[in-house]
Amino acid sequence: MRQQAIGKSKKARIFDLTLGAMFFALCVSAYAQQATKIRRVGYLASAGLAPSEALRQALRDLGYIEGKNIAFEFRASAGKPEQNFHLAAELVRLRVDVIVAAGAGAIRAAKNATASIPIVMSEVNDPIALGFIASLAHPGGNITGISNLSPELSGKRLELVTEIIPKTSRVALLAYRGVAMRTSIEETQLAAQSMQLQLQLLEVNGPAEFESVFEAAKKQRADALIQIEAAVLSPHQQRIIELAEKHRLPVVYNHREHVEAGGLMSYGLDAVERQQRVAALVDKILKGRKPADLPVEQPTKFEFVINLKTAKQIGITIPPNVLARADKVIR
């Protein structure tokens, strides 16, 4: 009898161990499945199709590998604002985990499409004035991100113009006609006033007006032109660069890509750092943080790029002290 009891006890222990091992294996399997879950990031832009390599690299640095634990759904309106709303609705139907929205039109469309899926915005000048967030510190709702708004940008661009053209008295300002540009326009106007420069505001609805804008700038004897870029105009940026060269008019852009494409110079947010910060916000959200609890960030790092080849083509000599401050010089 005692041997039978001992035998049963051994069998019970073996059964318990086997059951425990099975349970442990199931837990490990479930954990592994959870750990390797592919998170889907929707990317909606008013211009180019895919997120920059800088954003991809920033996410890779954070441990996200495409096809392994992250996947992108790219959508872009390619300069057709009315398409943003359809594309945003499509991303919502795909049940992405987070939407990165680049440009005011894309952000508005994403905001209208969902109140639950987190949205990380970029390429926007004044998200408060546009009604996207309640405040930078406490955005509220399902939106956070990076704001392009920085008062020092406008003054710095005008300062650079006066340094390369010492006798500057009149500067043209090219902007997309829309509420999204108002704050940037007002900041530039204030900066020009403080520097005792005349500012000629030239607003456009689209590329059909580019030629007349440059003709107006030359007619009014503008010494240079500053462009406040808008996502809706981005697909036509090369045309602006060509017209600047044709009219031999120095133009200051926001992004280095336009200088690399033949523009004279740019002063704006550091493109790589901006995408790193967007990636960091995406990472926090995918790990459980709520957008309402993540303050909207402002620019902290800027870059200055000059194209000497373009300067020579339009008859501009860049002073050595200005060249020495450039982050990149294209020769």
In this structure, the chain runs to a length of 331
Instruction: Tell me, yes or no, whether 28 lies in a domain.
Output: no
In this structure, are 78 and 125 located in the same domain? yes
CATH of the domain at 71: 3.40.50.2300
Domain span at 74? 39-149+271-293
Instruction: Tell me, yes or no, whether 52 lies in a domain.
Output: yes
CA-closest candidate to residue 225, choices 205, 208, 206, 241: 241
pLDDT in tens, 225-260: 999 888 778 888 999 999 999 999 999 998 898 999
In this structure, are 68 and 173 located in the same domain? no
pLDDT reported for residue 4:
52
In this structure, are 157 and 210 located in the same domain? yes
Q: Provide the number of structural domains found in the chain.
A: 2
DSSP run (H or E) holding 111? helix 104-113
Instruction: Tell me, yes or no, whether 16 lies in a domain.
Output: no
Decide if pLDDT at 218 tops 60: yes
State the chain's mean pLDDT as an integer. 88
Instruction: Tell me, yes or no, whether 206 lies in a domain.
Output: yes
Instruction: Tell me, yes or no, whether 204 lies in a domain.
Output: yes
Of all residues in the chain, the percent with pLDDT exceeding 90 is 66
Instruction: Tell me, yes or no, whether 6 lies in a domain.
Output: no
Instruction: Tell me, yes or no, whether 8 lies in a domain.
Output: no
Instruction: Identify the weakest region by mean pLDDT among 35-39, 142-146, 225-229, 313-317.
Output: 35-39
Decide if pLDDT at 29 tops 80: no
Kindly report the pTM of this predicted structure: 0.80
Q: 101-118 burial string, b = 16+ CB within 10 Å, else e? A: bbbbbbbbbbbebbeebb
Rg (CA), the chain: 26
Instruction: Tell me, yes or no, whether 245 lies in a domain.
Output: yes
How many whole angstroms separate alpha carbon 132 and alpha carbon 69?
30
In this structure, are 95 and 201 located in the same domain? no
